[in-house]
Structure formats: structure tokens, C-alpha cells
Amino acid sequence: MKFFIVLFFIVIFFAVELHSQMVKTDDPYSNIGLYFDYHLNIHNANFQKLPGIDNCCPKFESGSGTGLFIGGFFEYSFLPSLSGTLRLGYNSMSSLLKATEQEYISQGGSGVLGVIEHKIDASLSAISIQPIINYYITDQFKISGGLSADLMLTKQFSQSEEIIQPKGQVSFIDTLTGLPSGEYIRNRKDSIIPDASSLVMSLYGGISYEFQLNKSRSLLLIPELSFTYGLTPFVNNLTWSANTAKLGLSLVYSTAEYRLIEPKGGPSDVLDMKLLLAENEIEVLGNPDNLIYGAYDIRDNALADNILQSDLFAFVYAVGINEGIEEAKPILHIEEFLSLNMRPLLNYIFFDYNNADIPYRYKKINSDDVSKYDINSLSNEPTLPTYYQVLNIIGRRMKENITTKITLVGCNSDNGKEKANKQLSQKRAEVVSDYFTKVWGINPSRISVKSRNLPESASNNTTEDGMQENRRVEILSDSYQILEPVVTNDTITKVNPPVIRFYNNVKTANGIDNWKLQVYEESSLTKSFSGRDSVPAKLDWLIDKEKTGIPKTYEKLNFTLDVTDKSGKSQTAKSDLIQLDQITLKKKQENKSGDKRIDYYSLILFQFNSAELSPANTQISQYIKGNLKENSKILISGYSDRMGDEAHNLDLSEQRAKNLGKTLGSKNIYIRAVGANDLLYDNELPEGRFYCRTVVVEVETPIKW
């Protein structure tokens, strides 16, 4: 045990140096994990015998043993340096209690002074519940204190008295005959401990240190050194308790976020100085004798001038976010790849409440433009913009496949003004039919119009989201060609780091009227945030996910924060540049470098609460399988929307991903369940939620130019 304790502190010493450049943000987080410890049980006693059990021992005073604790825990941070933990597990507290005495013992008809050993071998185990408070001295090193409540499971004992000196030469006297019995062990007893406590309480204290197992610090290994001090006895009205010394280990999943601290002398020193000036500017304006300018080495005199001349201060800087870790002074790496992109076509048109007009978000064209409409023009279009072309996509496909037919089923939410309103359902179906016949020139004989109240596969109509989803027209077809996914050959762009975070610091005595943060590529605006009243402390640009505003030409981005207070004063915070590193397809072709092709496929419209592939999804899986190469690497991700139970949706999304993986028959498949942890699309819209209930397949295949 001593060796492990010394090793524990040596590892902590070196780990503090290793992690010194990263600090946790102040955002609340949770840890969940498995815990194991090996411990030494030190029993303290002051009794002669167990209740109702014969024993000649003068007094039991101590004992020892070893044990294990196996369980799990949940930790939640309610302050930056404080958190609470609830630990639950199996705890063994067994011990061997011993006591010796000297007594005259018969030997060949005469007495001899012998040594008798009294033993109680206690087998004790419990379900342990431990509420704990943790204080973080550093982001990784913490001290803990709390209680341990042990609900006793096993309360067995085995006792005996044995002559240990002179061993084998003497025996106990038979109390009936007064003669040597020939036995050197007596008072044997194996039973349940009489009047044993059902609950044993202890004080808990410990220290531990967190080690990261992955780059994002979401997986941790935590060694722990802890102690417990017994408060209550194992047997009622008997002095018998236990203290323990524990060496433990936890495997943990953490949601904590980190940010990078630059070394002293770097840009962070300037930043800290600027923030310090900003926090004290009201005092500076009111009492010039207390100017911070005279006490600190200010590198940017213009900043001090601004504070002296105005009661409005603004400052902004940017970091990159990659796998939850902040990167100071990020370089934005932008790379182009060839891609085949398969987007499923959701065959529903959604309507507003008690309304039969096709919403404006659906793209419609004039009849004069029908001949020019080309589905291939949707190349490089994201999923939802492609979906909003659904009426034109189906119109084009019906023009090209003249024998096909469709059925339009109008539906309503069957509540409020839509209650049993099949006339509204009919109008909705007819307005869709009119678009196909009057704009696309489809013969009405090829379109069947029906109406009903709730859809055949209705969403949960007790929620607002479910009612939105039921206000729809379903487009059904006897031909797969009409509703098949949209497949295009695209050029996609990957951006790393995928997120740019802007930290804003604004101080004013008059309150904020409005603000805007704008990102430019040369003079061209690529991204803009704006608002009123207050400026968020941080703003995240999800550049890789949004796929909008990705720089295409220049080598740097610049950004500014403009703030106007309620008195009409304005301040512009200028920033450093974000450098760009662009690798285009043209560059790769010119350099004849190795490359990879990244293809995307999506499956939607699984049956409610089912992981089985529908016939349409089975057909898609066979298409994917036909495009795979032996060296292709496949990532299958299961997603869900915000509706329903989060844990159930996560399990369901994982099972759907696994079922698809089985049909592809490749050895290079990786499965991940995302559920609703990362919503792919806007869940305020019914189509956004439907497209979130998806399985996404990403296939990377090496290629050479």
C-alpha cells in the first residue's frame, strides 16, 4: 500500500505540469463513471463476546482485513470549484479479530502456562451509498468529503479458541469429567452475527487526480486515495466499528469543456490587461488619480486613450474549437474533396395551422421555366434546400417517366379548427395537385387525390410538434423513380477547426442599444451576428456544419465588433486576423498528391419505434454496398430529433445504425449513436425533425490523381 501511495503523488506532480496550459470553463458539467477500490479494513472493538454466543475471550480490541468496492457514480458541478457526487456500489468490510491470553492448561496430569488465541472471522458486505462534496484545488486535483451509508447484506461470523503454545502438546480440560479432552480448539461457531446493525455509517474523505484518455478530455482515468472513519457499530449496543484506507480508480465520461491559456508574455497578458482596464473604467473616469495606466505596463496606449475619452469599451478575440478543446490564434484549414451526395426525399408537404396554402419556404417556379429546370442544378445543395425543391423534383421526374402515377393524401391535426376537418385536408391535397397539373403540365388522370384526418402513420398528436407534423400532404407513388433520393456529384469542403468562437467583452455605464459582429473575407461579408441590449460573452460560428461563409479565395479573415450604447455612443473593437490554409482540388491535381473521396448517404422514414429497414431503405443500402471499395472506411451515425425520451431515442438510433451496418457487409465499419445530442437540422420545423430521424453514412475511399 505504501508503494502505491508514493506512486500516486509522483504521478500527480508530473501531471500538474502536463495540464497547466488548459483550464476548465465555468460552465456546469457532469461526470458519470465506474469506480473500483482495494482497501484495508481496520476494525476497532471493545467487547468480550457477541450477544448470546459463548466465548472465553477477555476482550476483542482490534482486527484487520482487505476488501473491494465496485460501483458507479454521478458527479455534477454546481459552482466552478465545487461539485457533488453520488456513489453507489458493493462494499466488502470483512475482518479477522484476534485476542490472546495466558492460562494454565492440563499437560500429563499437571498444569502448564499456555497461550490461547481467540478469533472471530467476520464476513461483512454491504450496498454502499456515498453522498460526497468535492472541492477542486486545480482543474484536475480535488479533495472530497462526505458520508458512507452501508446497507448490510452479509453478516456472517466464524469463531474459535485455539491453544497456540505449546501447540499439539496440551489440550483443554473437559468440563464434565475434569480430565484432558484431547482437543486444542473449542467454542467453534459459524452463524449469522446476532443483533447486527442493518445500517452502518462512516465519514468519508479523499483526494484524487484526473488524467485525460482522449484529446477532447471527455474520457478520464482518476486514481483516488481515500479514508473512512466508522461512526456506528456493526452490532447494536456493542463497540465494534471499522476504519478503511482505500486506493481507488475511476473510469469517467465527462462533459466538461476546456479553454487554452497562453504562456506568460504572450497575447493573453495583453488581453488580461485590457479586460482589467475595462472592468475598472468607471472608477478611472470618476477618479483620474487611480488610473490603472500608471500601475501597469500597457502595450496599447490607444486602448487607455479610449477609456479616458469614453465610457464605452469593446474588445473581441477568436479561438478555434476542435473536439471541445480551444485553440488560440487558430489557422483555418479548408480542404476540398470529391463527393457523391445522396439526400433522401421526404415526400411530405407541411402546412400552417388551419391553412391550405403551400408555405413560402417550398420553392415554386413558373410554367415557362419548367423546360429549363434541371435536378442536377441541386449539386452542392444541403439537405433542407434540396427538400424545398420537392415539388419541382417530383414534377420533373413525372415528366420524364410518363407512365408513373402519384397519390396525394391530405391530412390534418384533428384538433381545434382542424378537428374532423376533412374538407381542409382535401383543399391541401388539391393545391398540391394544381401545382403539378397547372405548372408542370401533368395529366390529372395520373394524380389521385384523397383526404383523411390524421395521417395513417401519425405523429404524437398530444404535443405541438406532433400536431405540426400531422398537418401535411403525403405524396405516394407506384414507382420508386419518383421518390428516390437525390444523388449528385459534389465538391464538398471540410473545415478544421470546425468551430470559431468569439469572446466578447463590453463595458458601458449607459447600457447597450445594439451590436453586431461581422466577419469579412477582404471586403466581402461572410458571417454576421447581431442583437440588442446585451452582447453575449461568447458566440460560436459553426462554420463546418453550416457550410456557409466558407472562404474561397483569400488567405485571411478579419472581424470586428461594433457596439452602440443607449446614449448613442459607438465603439468598434478591431481584432487580429484569422489565417487561412486552403487546399483545393486544383492544387491536389497539380501536385498529383494522394487524396480521398468522401461520399454521404442518408436514410429516413423508419417506422415508428422500429429499427428495421423499410423496403426503400433496403434498396438504398444495396446502392451504398455497390459503391464500396475494399479500402473504404465507413462511419454510420444514428441521429434523432428532440421529441420523445432522449435515452430511448439514443438506443434506437444506435440500433438503426447497427442494422444498416449489417447489410453493408464490410469489415471497416464504425458505428456511433448520436441521438439528439447533435441536432442536424432546425427542430422548430416539422421537416427538420423528420430529417433528424436519420442514419447518415460517411464513406472515405482513398484515390490518386
For 560, the 3-state DSSP assignment is strand
Higher pLDDT, 650 or 112: 650
- Provide the grid cell at 33: 463513471
What local confidence, expressed as pLDDT, does residue 556 receive?
83
With a cut of 70, say whether residue 296 has pLDDT above it.
no
Distance between start and end Cα atoms, the chain: 61
Decide: 303 and 346 in contact? Cβ < 8 Å: no
Length of the chain equals: 705
Residue 541 CA to residue 537 CA, distance in Å, equals 14
For residue 220, give the amino acid letter.
Answer: L
583, pLDDT greater than 80: no
Residues 172-185: tens digit of each pLDDT: 766 666 666 677 78
pLDDT band at 475; cut points 50, 70, 90: very high
Residue with cell 439526400: 343
Residue 570, pLDDT above cutoff 70: yes
Tell me what the mean pLDDT of segment 32-56 comes to. Answer: 92
Percent of all residues in the chain with a pLDDT value above 90, rounded to a whole number:
45
Distant-in-sequence, close-in-space partners of 194: CB < 8 Å, separation ≥ 6:
50, 51, 52, 53, 235
Determine the distance from the C-alpha atom of residue 108 to the mean position of all C-alpha atoms in its chain, rounded to a whole number: 78
The one-letter amino acid at 218: S
Q: Give the tens place of pLDDT for each residue, 370-397.
A: 999 999 888 888 889 999 999 999 999 9
pLDDT of the residue at 15: 44
Is the Cα torsion angle 10, 15, 20, 24 positive or negative in sign? Answer: negative
Name the pLDDT band for 106 (thresholds 50, 70, 90). low
Who has greater pLDDT, 302 or 670? 670
Compute the chain's Rg from CA coordinates.
37
Which long-range CB contacts under 8 A does 415-422 form with residues at least 24 apart?
Answer: 415/461, 415/467, 416/353, 416/354, 417/353, 417/354, 418/353, 418/354, 418/471, 420/453, 421/354, 421/453, 422/451, 422/452, 422/453
The reported pLDDT for the residue numbered 483 is: 93
* The pLDDT of residue 30 is above 60: yes
Average pLDDT over residues 140-151: 95
Q: Is the pLDDT of residue 596 over 80?
A: yes
Nearest CA among 348, 345, 350 for reference residue 385: 345
What residues have CB less than 8 Å from 176, skipping those under 6 apart? none
Assess contact for 316 and 517: CB atoms under 8 A.
Answer: yes
Average pLDDT, the chain: 84
Express as a percent the part of the chain with pLDDT over 70.
84
AA letter at 236: N
Instruction: Give the pairing of strands 669-675 and 633-639.
Output: parallel
CA distances to 406, 542, 578 from 456, in Å:
17, 38, 52
Tens of pLDDT, residue by residue over 406-450, are 999 999 999 999 999 999 999 999 999 999 999 999 999 999 999
> In whole angstroms, what is the distance from residue 683 CA to residue 693 CA?
11
CA dihedral 467, 468, 469, 474 (to 10 degrees): 110
pLDDT band of residue 236 (cuts 50, 70, 90) is very high
CA of 91: how far to CAs of 119, 200, 239, 240, in Å? Answer: 23, 12, 21, 18
Beta-carbon contacts of 6 under 8 Å, excluding residues fewer than 6 positions away, are: none
User: d(Cα 142, Cα 82) in Å, to the nearest integer?
Assistant: 9
Structural domains of the chain sorted by starting position, each given as residue range(s) with its CATH number in brackets:
2-15+32-256 (2.40.160.20), 257-334+503-590 (no CATH), 345-484 (3.30.1330.60), 592-704 (3.30.1330.60)
